[in-house]
């Protein structure tokens, strides 16, 4: 009889197209069996997880952990703890807001070394595309970046400048030659900056005023420019944090026209509105800004139609002192790494009847496929890495400050009731997070401070 390292019996397995009941066996960090009725005697250790769901480990393609240089905003240890507590087993760390930003080999090696030492879960690093660093892109690919990121509007960070038209074009030409992907913050300062100055001069500082200063038209103009350049260069494009269905529609048309382009939206655009921004203030400030309630519903319609490829948290933390003042002065960015799956379950599965398989594809399988990690990641198949999260989707809880593992425990979701509690997260078959309310896996499990599975 084959002996497994760990056996999870009677789980509800969230596969790519359906949910099945099966036993899941792990050996040497891999899934080696997925079938009903495996004997518990065949495993060194087994757990009965009847009525609990096993999701493929989430892949958060969009986080800002800010170490080195701005570790006081969010460090690798606190950030990866938060991600693990949110069911994430792999994250992609953006090239800003670290200092130095990840725009050449030296900065990559520094951040990669720190991440290997401190991260509790798997990680990949984005490289940056900024004016003057096109010559470094090939070497960054050799170092192992998952792709490149550029801003088409001011990033808010002086050492990570927005691309000018020349840098964008030649950068896309080079990235196409490297067969890599370029992720873009697509807003147009040509539209945003004059509007911002006008609204501030008029003394208007509400949530609706901030939204008006960064209209959907700004996103549409920037996305259209990138689509036109993608036609010329053949560069693969990934548009991050789309806030409007109109942006998704434009990208969908580009796909039909043969452009290799994908689109991400974020949990906050699927759950919060401009009214929440007015109520909560800078805690809910992000760019692009939160939109009207009808835009939330239209994004869900696009999601149901299969027009959205990826959900990423865009976890962009900052000390609470930077979240003071009016909406134009305060730092923009929502802390959301720990609550991504909670929002998708509450707003998607429970409120809008989105299937668990679809949620799993958006938050795990699709990112793995787009960024070349599938089927090792993003799948619960025999031979895949044993990266998964176990969720009691019936269990409700109210998010409290004490639940957050962020360095600065603030969130626009504090006080909100969610249905679907993460009980445990596993990487390569080892528990890296265990909810304190869970007694299934014994007292020996918990946060694993030294996980070496990158």
- Angle (CA) 239 241 245, round 5°: 85
For the record, the structure tokens of 197 come out as 């100055």
CB 335 within 8 A of CB 411: yes
Please give the pLDDT value at position 2: 76
| pLDDT 10s digits, 21-45 | 999 999 999 999 999 989 988 999 9
The pLDDT assigned to 438 comes to 86
Give the ranges where 18-104 is alpha helix by DSSP (H).
76-85
- For residue 437, the tally of other CB atoms under 10 A from its CB is 10
> Is the pLDDT reported for residue 357 higher than 50?
yes
Report, at the CATH architecture level, how domain 56-370 is classified: Alpha-Beta Barrel (3.20)
Q: What are phi and psi of 238, to 5 degrees?
A: -130, 115
366 vs 316: CA distance, rounded Å: 22
Domain locations in the chain as residue ranges:
56-370
Confidence of residue 288 (pLDDT cuts 50, 70, 90): very high
> What is residue 444's predicted lDDT score, i.e. its pLDDT?
46
Hey, which bits of 100-163 come out as E strands?
Answer: 122-125, 127-128, 148-151
Q: What percent of the chain has pLDDT over 90?
A: 94
Expressed in percent and rounded to 5, the helix, strand and coil fractions of the chain are 35, 25, 40
Tell me whether the omega of the peptide bond preceding residue 68 falls within 30 degrees of 0, making it cis.
Answer: yes
- H helix or E strand, kind and range, residue 396: strand 388-398
Rounded to the nearest integer, the mean pLDDT of the chain is 95
pTM, entire model: 0.96
Are the CB atoms for 368 and 193 separated by under 8 Å?
A: no
Please say if the pLDDT value at position 451 is more than 60.
no
Start-end of H helices in 308-395: 340-343, 351-352, 356-360, 366-370
User: Is pLDDT of 453 > 50?
Assistant: no
pLDDT, position 40? 86
**How do residues 207-263 score in pLDDT, each as one tens digit?**
999 999 999 999 999 999 999 999 999 999 999 999 999 999 999 999 999 999 999
pLDDT score of 443: 56
Q: What is the pLDDT of residues 177-193, one digit of tens each?
A: 999 999 999 999 999 99
For residue 449, what pLDDT band results from cuts at 50, 70 and 90? very low
């Amino acid at each position: 009889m084959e002996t497994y390292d760990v056996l999870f019996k009677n789980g509800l397995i969230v596969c790519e197209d359906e949910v099945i009941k099966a036993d899941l066996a792990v050996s040497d960090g891999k899934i080696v069996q997925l079938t009903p009725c495996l004997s518990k005697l065949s495993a060194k250790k087994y757990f009965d997880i009847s009525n609990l769901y096993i999701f493929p480990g989430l892949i958060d393609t969009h986080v800002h952990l800010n170490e080195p240089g701005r570790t006081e905003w969010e460090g690798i240890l606190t950030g990866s703890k938060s991600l693990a507590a949110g069911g994430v087993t792999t994250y992609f760390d953006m090239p800003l807001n670290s200092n130095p930003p990840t725009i050449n080999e030296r900065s990559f090696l520094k951040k990669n070394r720190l991440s290997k030492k401190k991260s509790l879960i798997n990680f990949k690093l984005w490289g940056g595309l900024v004016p003057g660093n096109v010559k470094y892109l090939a070497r960054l690919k050799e170092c192992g970046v998952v792709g490149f990121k550029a801003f088409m509007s001011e990033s808010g960070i002086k050492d990570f400048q927005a691309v000018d038209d020349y840098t964008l074009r030649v950068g896309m030409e080079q990235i196409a030659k490297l067969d890599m992907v370029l992720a873009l913050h697509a807003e147009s300062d040509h539209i945003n900056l004059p509007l911002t100055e006008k609204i501030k001069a008029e003394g208007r500082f509400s949530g609706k005023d901030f939204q008006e200063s960064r209209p959907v038209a700004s996103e549409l103009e920037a996305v259209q420019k990138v689509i036109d350049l993608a036609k010329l260069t053949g560069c693969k494009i990934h548009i991050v944090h789309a806030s409007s269905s109109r942006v998704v529609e434009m990208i969908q048309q580009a796909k039909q026209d043969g452009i290799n382009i994908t689109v991400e939206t974020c949990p906050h655009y699927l759950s919060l509105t401009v009214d929440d921004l007015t109520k909560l203030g800078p805690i809910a400030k992000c760019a692009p800004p939160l939109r009207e309630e009808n835009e939330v519903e239209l994004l869900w319609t696009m999601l149901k139609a299969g027009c959205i490829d990826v959900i990423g948290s865009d976890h962009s933390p900052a000390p609470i002192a930077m979240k003071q003042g009016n909406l134009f002065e305060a730092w923009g960015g929502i802390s959301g790494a720990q609550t991504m799956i909670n929002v998708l379950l509450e707003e998607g599965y429970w409120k809008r009847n989105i299937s668990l398989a679809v949620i799993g594809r958006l938050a795990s399988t699709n990112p793995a496929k787009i960024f070349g990690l599938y089927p090792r990641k993003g799948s619960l198949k025999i031979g895949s890495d044993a990266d998964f999260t176990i969720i009691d989707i019936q269990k409700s809880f109210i998010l409290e400050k004490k639940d957050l593992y962020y360095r600065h425990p603030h969130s626009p979701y504090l006080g909100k009731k969610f249905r679907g509690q993460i009980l445990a997260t596993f990487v390569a078959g080892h528990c890296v997070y265990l909810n304190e309310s869970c007694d299934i896996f014994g007292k020996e499990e918990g946060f694993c401070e030294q996980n070496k599975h990158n």
